Amino acid sequence: MPTRATVSPIIQAVLNVLRANLTKPVGDGEAPEGCSPPYVVVTGIVSGGLTGSIASPEVDAKDRIQVASVGNSREQADWLRDQCRAILFYDTIDADLAVQAVDRRCLRMWVDVSTGLARDDRGLPEPLFSALDQYIIETTPYVQA
The single-letter code of the amino acid at 135 is Y
Arithmetic mean of pLDDT, 60-66: 86
Q: Give ∠ CA 18-20-82 in degrees, rounded to 5.
A: 40
C-alpha distances (whole Å) from 124 to each of 74, 120, 129, 130, 142 are 16, 8, 12, 14, 47
Whether cis (ω within 30° of 0) applies to the bond prior to 32 is no
pLDDT band at 3 (very low <50, low <70, confident <90, very high): very low
Note the pLDDT of residue 77: 97
3-state SS, 83-135, equals: HHHHHHCCCHHHHHHHHCCCCEEEEEEEEEEEEEEEEECCCCCCCEEEEEEEE
The single-letter code of the amino acid at 87 is I
Phi and psi, residue 113, nearest 5°:
-135, 130
DSSP state of 31: P
Q: pLDDT tens, 126-135?
A: 899 999 999 9
Question: Domain 9-141 carries which CATH code?
Answer: 3.30.2000.30
Note the pLDDT of residue 114: 93
86 Cβ neighbours under 8 A, 6+ residues apart:
none
Q: Is the pLDDT of residue 99 over 90?
A: no
